[in-house]
Structure 1
Amino acid sequence: MMVGEKIKSLRIRKKYSITELSEKAKVSKSYLSYIERGIQKNPSLQVLSRLAKTLDTTVEYLMGHEIKVNKNGIPIDQEWLLLVDEAIKNGISKEDFSFYLDFVKFKNNINHDK
């Protein structure tokens, strides 16, 4: 899948019109249309970065590096998968993992309130 096809697919998945995405990512509508239709095959890194951020993905994914995506089309970071795999191999239970997540959320809320 080419860059433009990936952008269009993610845009449709997020239910953005081409106008909405262009406004949110601060990319001209015509330029975005050229990218999606494959007329502009090499958009700048700056444009790709803004589009990736707006579409909750990565430039790497848009550029065609094979990255696993979850059911919402959001890329899954391989480093995180390796960390979770390692935790499982070392015996962490779902309950323990859930506890740590709750602890981090609690800690972040305390730090946010300061």
Structure 2
Amino acid sequence: MTIGDRVRTYRINREMSLSELAKKADVAKSYLSSIERNVQQNPSITFVKKVSEALHVSVDHILQDELEMNKVDPEYVDLIKEAVAIGVTKKDLTEFIEFQKWKKRNIK
């Protein structure tokens, strides 16, 4: 998976258009498109940093290879452990996630 593939995947998962991401990251839409289409394959670290911040992911998540993407961020593991410790159930967490998806779709 290339940098462009990862950027596109994160963008789509966050339900952002190419224009929205370009605007939030303050980068040229045409250049962003060329990265996502793998026409350009070596973006500057400045570009990667801007895009990663706009997508709310670390630079590492944009740069790392496919095998590394399957690792869970340790901070998420800590959050889940804390939630379990205070009595949050799987059902509670699932309902929260579903509400967040609903909110994202309906509140713009």
Report how far residue 59 of structure 1 moved. 1.0
Q: Which residue of structure 2 lines up, in the alignment, with residue 15 of structure 1?
A: 15
After TM superposition, which residue ranges in structure 1, 4 or more long, deviate above 2 angstroms?
none
SS at match of 1:22: helix
Question: 2:73 corresponds to which letter in structure 1?
Answer: D
Greater share of residues in helix = 2
Report how far residue 64 of structure 1 moved. 1.6
Report how far residue 67 of structure 1 moved. 4.2
Higher deviation after alignment, 27-36 or 58-67: 58-67
Structure-2 separation of matches of 1:77 and 1:46: 23
Question: 1:59 corresponds to which letter in structure 2?
Answer: V
State TM-score, norm by structure 2: 0.65
Structure-1 separation of matches of 2:33 and 2:50: 15
- Mapping of 1:45-64 within 5 angstroms? 45-64=45-64
User: Which ranges of structure 2 fall in alignment gaps of 5 or more residues?
Assistant: 88-108
C-alpha deviations, 1:54-87, integer Å up to 9, x for none? 1111111111251446xxxxxx533x478x4xx8
Q: Which residue of structure 1 lines up, in the alignment, with residue 27 of structure 2?
A: 27
Structure-1 separation of matches of 2:51 and 2:15: 14
Question: Highest Rg: 1 or 2?
Answer: 1
Report how far residue 6 of structure 1 moved. 0.6
- Mapping of 1:1-114 within 5 angstroms? 1-65=1-65, 66-68=68-70, 76-78=72-74, 80=75, 84=78, 94-95=85-86
**Cα RMSD for the two superposed structures:** 2.5
Structure-2 separation of matches of 1:19 and 1:81: 29
Question: 1:22 corresponds to which letter in structure 2?
Answer: A
